[in-house]
């Protein structure tokens, strides 16, 4: 019986350790993120394109050609290229608008494929609904044409107006053209021929960079990766994988690592928003918050004689109702109805808010609980955090926006 009981106890202990290990692994798995979510691989980037064009087919909601000279000149130039000689003084159309066209080109975009574009009004057009963008070249940072856009504009907003009111939903002067541009020039980046690759961290940190290099080396079974600074991990392509760089990157980007978070407090003073990391610690500090409030209230009272008192007549009542500030006399010389001031002065020193002592090494949750116990709102909490940082009691970076 003792033998069985001993085995049962051991079995219970092993089961408890197993559950504890599973819980720790689950907690670690939840904290870890994929490399593709915190890093950028060299060559896999976006390139910005921009162009200037004309939108036609608007229902009288386009630019005013007498004020928007660039729209008028663009229209004359377009008609001239089409063999039409137009006189600028006779152009009065309201169905055309000058727009800026923007798009994003991937490093691996191939010639002939399509990308989405965004169209935004440049002049005083009020609505691009029903408009069609004419052929517009899209330029890169080097001034070369990489795509050409054209097509009907899709809007998510609208504007409806009448004589008495106007309703506007969204932004009717900006829209998009899905698959509205055709790639005419490729960037020419040879991804498969790379022998080394830089992996950039979106949030540079030395600890995270070292962890990324270690997890990649563990996956490859050899030290091919090493961190060269807080934001870059350099990877040497293994000789056996140089013919399959895409497969190598597909495997590496799925690896999980736990990023290290710096102790930082970010404050947006305009919006009254405070964001604090979990590693922020506060040394011993006492916090008190309160303002002296003086409230003065004036409540005028009407003093009216009895009905049978001399002068207690309608004339006196009318005089008081007219806003007399002092004693008034009725026509017969008797006492009249008067308005007497009643001033109430209240002084609130907020004595119910007491001094709060914050113990050393407290967490953000404990600090917030202490400040909330004083009845402090976000605006006052911003000032308190700035003062705590100035006192040297906050072990974190304070970033103001």
What is the three-state SS of 141-168? Answer: CCCCEEEEEEEECECCCEEEECCCCEEE
> What's residue 283's pLDDT?
76
| Cβ count within 10 A of residue 320 | 17
> What's residue 213's pLDDT?
95
Instruction: Check: CB of residue 234 under 8 Å from CB of residue 228.
Output: yes
Helix (H, G, I), strand (E, B) or coil at 285: strand
Instruction: Check: CB of residue 160 under 8 Å from CB of residue 194.
Output: no
Query: The tokens of 330 are what?
Result: 């009725």
Is the C-alpha dihedral spanning 326, 331, 333, 337 positive or negative? negative
The domain spans of the chain are: 46-183, 196-257, 264-292+353-400, 293-348
Q: Which residues contact 237 (CB under 8 A, 6 or more apart)?
A: 194, 195, 196, 197, 224, 245, 248
Q: Can you give the pTM of this predicted structure?
A: 0.62
**pLDDT tens track of the chain, all 401 residues?**
444 545 555 544 544 444 444 443 444 444 689 999 999 998 888 899 999 999 999 988 899 888 888 988 898 888 888 888 877 667 788 899 999 999 999 888 889 999 999 999 998 998 898 899 999 999 999 999 999 999 999 987 666 666 666 677 678 899 999 999 999 998 877 777 888 999 999 989 999 999 999 999 999 999 999 999 999 999 999 998 888 888 899 999 999 999 888 888 888 877 777 887 777 777 777 766 665 445 556 566 666 666 655 554 444 444 444 444 444 444 454 556 676 776 665 555 555 555 555 566 666 667 777 667 766 777 777 787 788 788 787 778 888 87
> What's residue 268's pLDDT?
81
Least Cα distance to 191 among 36, 45, 34 occurs for 45
> What's residue 37's pLDDT?
92
């Amino acid at each position: 019986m003792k033998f069985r009981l001993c085995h049962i106890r051991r079995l219970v202990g092993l089961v408890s350790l197993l559950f504890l290990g599973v819980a720790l692994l689950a907690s670690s798995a939840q904290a870890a993120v994929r490399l593709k979510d915190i890093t950028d691989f060299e060559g896999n980037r976006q390139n910005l394109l921009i162009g200037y064009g004309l939108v036609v087919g608007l229902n009288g909601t386009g630019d005013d050609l007498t004020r928007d000279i660039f729209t008028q000149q663009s229209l004359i130039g377009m008609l001239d290229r089409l063999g039409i000689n137009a006189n600028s003084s006779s152009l009065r159309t309201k169905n055309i608008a000058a727009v800026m066209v923007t798009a994003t080109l991937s490093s691996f975009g191939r010639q002939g494929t399509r990308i989405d574009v965004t169209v935004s009004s440049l002049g005083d057009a009020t609505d691009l609904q029903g408009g069609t963008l004419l052929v517009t070249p899209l330029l890169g940072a080097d001034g070369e044409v990489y795509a050409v856009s054209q097509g009907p504009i899709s809007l998510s907003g609208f504007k409806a107006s009448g004589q008495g009111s106007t309703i506007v939903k969204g932004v009717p002067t900006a829209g998009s053209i899905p698959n509205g541009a055709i790639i005419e020039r490729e960037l020419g980046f040879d991804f498969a021929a790379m022998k080394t690759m830089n992996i950039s961290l979106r949030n540079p940190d030395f600890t995270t960079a070292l962890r990324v290099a270690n997890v990649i080396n563990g996956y490859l079974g050899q030290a091919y990766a090493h961190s060269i600074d807080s934001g870059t991990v350099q990877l040497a392509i293994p000789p056996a994988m140089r013919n399959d760089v895409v497969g190598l990157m597909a495997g590496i980007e799925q690896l999980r690592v736990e990023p290290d978070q710096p102790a930082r407090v970010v404050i947006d003073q305009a919006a009254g928003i405070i964001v604090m990391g979990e590693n922020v610690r506060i040394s011993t500090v006492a916090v008190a918050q309160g303002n002296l409030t003086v409230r003065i209230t004036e409540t005028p009272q009407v003093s009216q004689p009895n009905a049978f008192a001399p002068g207690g007549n309608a004339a006196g009542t009318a005089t008081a109702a007219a806003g007399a500030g002092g004693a008034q006399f009725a026509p017969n010389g008797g006492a009249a109805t008067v308005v007497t001031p009643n001033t109430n002065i209240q002084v609130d020193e907020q004595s119910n808010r007491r001094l709060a002592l914050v113990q050393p090494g407290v967490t953000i949750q404990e600090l917030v609980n202490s400040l909330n116990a004083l009845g402090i709102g976000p605006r006052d909490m911003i000032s308190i955090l700035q003062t705590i940082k100035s006192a040297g009691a906050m072990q974190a970076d304070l970033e103001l926006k």
